[in-house]
Structure 1
């Protein structure tokens, strides 16, 4: 289905990003997977998965990395800004350094990745931009003001771009998963446990019960949605938020 297409997935070496990269590669795309840890990317690499060390919080790294990927594999036609940090902190405990780190990764990184990918995508006759936002992009997440603001911002960016390119062969959508079974969950369990003074089991229950169907989302559920947005008949899905949380938000 995606033979001849070049995709770029930031944060593509682990978790949701790796599941997305594999799903696109299974459909025939050549997929550039980016991240900061070379060893993680090389471990994930395969026949159609091509590692690229790139830091989405660094504009020069993003512009140089995407230029390198385009030179190697042609125009980017599928852009998946996925790299992000998921950390909560009460607003009165949020200093500017923490705020900027969350914004730099989740929002600035998405902006730079999309902007640089569009440079080559606009020269082609087909393109898909699919940002990985969050349930926090749809509703406020308790104790995570910075994270929530960054994910709302990502959705605003996608909606604006869908209007800018309306009627052209490029679509812009956001996928918004609930709590997903990745290594981020393990880190958050420890953070919630220590912050709230509760057991790991109780901390896990808090996250699981945020999902409407009371279970963690599988990464493959997210990657299936991304693959669908790249498939036949998806051309009229534009400027939308695809919510994966087991029920209404």
Structure 2
């Protein structure tokens, strides 16, 4: 297998960390970025192959240039880009503030757009590239109390589809993976939020989330990484939003 230069955002924990681990185990060089420098450094030291930890705030418009410049300086062009970083809030529509709305769009849609825009020219020049965005089943349906999050995830799936169509003949593929509720720290925060607002126990809140998926459990980060790896390996998968939610959204 050819060794590729990979970049994973939101790689300090959860899904991003599992994806970085998987890409490294497959023989690739993996650069990791996130705001959490400590978690990022720990994740990088656990990879079996070459790793770079590059802390960055993805809300910063200059973050893509700084991160890509660092990878290119040490290894050369990024060939595989996994855009995993995201944020989630929950509130009724009428209680969703402008700040909530802007933050969701900034991290879940604008930052992926900026990273994708920076990644594409070198990929097209070399005739090879794999871009995978970790979206959500919220990219495909609407649920109550998550209007800002859902709008941002619908938007990023549209970005993926348009970019894939534009780049289809260049050797660059663009796909989205759309997980349901995954067993990660972000889901733990959702459970804490449910507990605080409803008075239900943590186990009751967890069971409610598990019940939203027909398989009756949370998705594992490794199950998401499986699909990312498939998108990286298979050049015929392009412009897709692949749902990994145990059958909750059939599409």
Q: Would you say same fold, with TM above 0.5?
A: yes
Deviation at 1:136, TM superposition (A): 0.5
Match of 1:217 in 2: 219
Number of residues of Structure 1 aligned to a counterpart in Structure 2: 246
Gaps of at least 5 residues in structure 1 are none
CA deviation string 1:34-64 (max 9, x = no partner):
0111111111113323100111111112222
CA distance in 2, matches of 1:39, 1:124: 34
Question: SS of 1:19's equivalent?
Answer: helix
Q: 4+ residue stretches of structure 1 with deviation over 6 A?
A: none
- TM-score, length of structure 2 as denominator length: 0.94
Which of 170, 175, 178 aligns to 2:177? It is 175
Please list the CA deviations of residues 122-158 of structure 1 after superposition, one character each: whole Å capped at 9, or x if unmatched: 2212110100000111111221000011111110000
Report the Cα offset of residue 197 of structure 1.
2.7
8 A contact 2:212–2:248 mirrored in 1: no
**In the alignment, what sits opposite 1:15?**
14
CA RMSD of aligned residues (A): 1.2
Distance 1:53 1:28 in 2: 23
Q: Which runs of 5+ in 2 are unaligned?
A: none
Tell me which residue corresponds to 1:240. Answer: 240
Q: Give the whole-Å Cα distance in 1 for the aligned partners of 2:248 and 2:206.
A: 21
**CA separation in 2, counterparts of 1:44 and 1:2?**
23
- Structure 2 distance, partners of 1:26, 1:212, is 31
Given the two structures, how large is their TM-score scaled by the length of structure 1? 0.95
**1:156 equivalent in structure 2:** 158
Counterparts of residues 1-249 of structure 1 (less than 5 Å): 1-3=1-3, 5-46=4-45, 47-231=49-233, 234-249=234-249
Alpha-carbon distance between aligned partners in 2 of 1:150 and 1:96, rounded to the nearest angstrom: 14
